[in-house]
Amino acid sequence: MLNVNIITVGKLKESYLRDACAEYAKRLGAFCKLNITELAESRLPDNPSEKEIKAALSAEAKAMLPILNGKDCYNITMCIEGKQLSSEKLAEKIGKISVDGKSVLNIVIGSSCGIAEEVKAMSDFRLSMSEMTFPHQLARVMVLEQIYRGFQILNGGKYHK
């Protein structure tokens, strides 16, 4: 069974988002071992400079890097410049990870300021949700839903239409 780790910066503030994540986590239990790691978000002033943002991203990266270093890990970073995939293509990628001998899928969701370059450099794949802009807090729900959809596709489930 594939271990899926969602590594995310910050906590979900809204109860309805936590409830949605809990529902997808429950559903995913049939397909994988899911772990969600919430890392502390660096505090920034209201109008941070580029230097302050870079320092914050670097501090967040220090907490991420040990998780991403495993030899059996496949790392996906969620970032704007990443490639967009259909649900079917994401399902294929998830299926291929296990076939290629990887036992851990790490998916990194950075802060609203993004992800440090050193984390992106460790990435096996950079994934973008869309060219549209979504609330940062919604990203975790969307990622969990797509992972669940991917497993449903791989297993011939009725969820995906």
pLDDT tens, residue by residue, 120-142: 999 999 999 998 888 888 999 99
Query: What is the pLDDT confidence band of residue 160, given thresholds at 50, 70 and 90?
Result: low
- 81-86: Cβ within 8 A, 24+ apart: 81/126, 81/128, 82/125, 82/126, 82/127, 82/128, 83/125, 83/126, 83/127, 83/128, 84/127, 84/128, 84/129, 84/130, 84/131, 85/127
What pTM did the predictor assign? 0.93
Confidence of residue 23 (pLDDT cuts 50, 70, 90): very high
Domain boundaries, the chain: 2-154
127: closest CA among 9, 6, 1? 6
Q: Which CATH superfamily is domain 2-154 in?
A: SPOUT methyltransferase, trefoil knot domain (3.40.1280.10)
What is the percentage of the chain residues whose pLDDT exceeds 70? Answer: 99
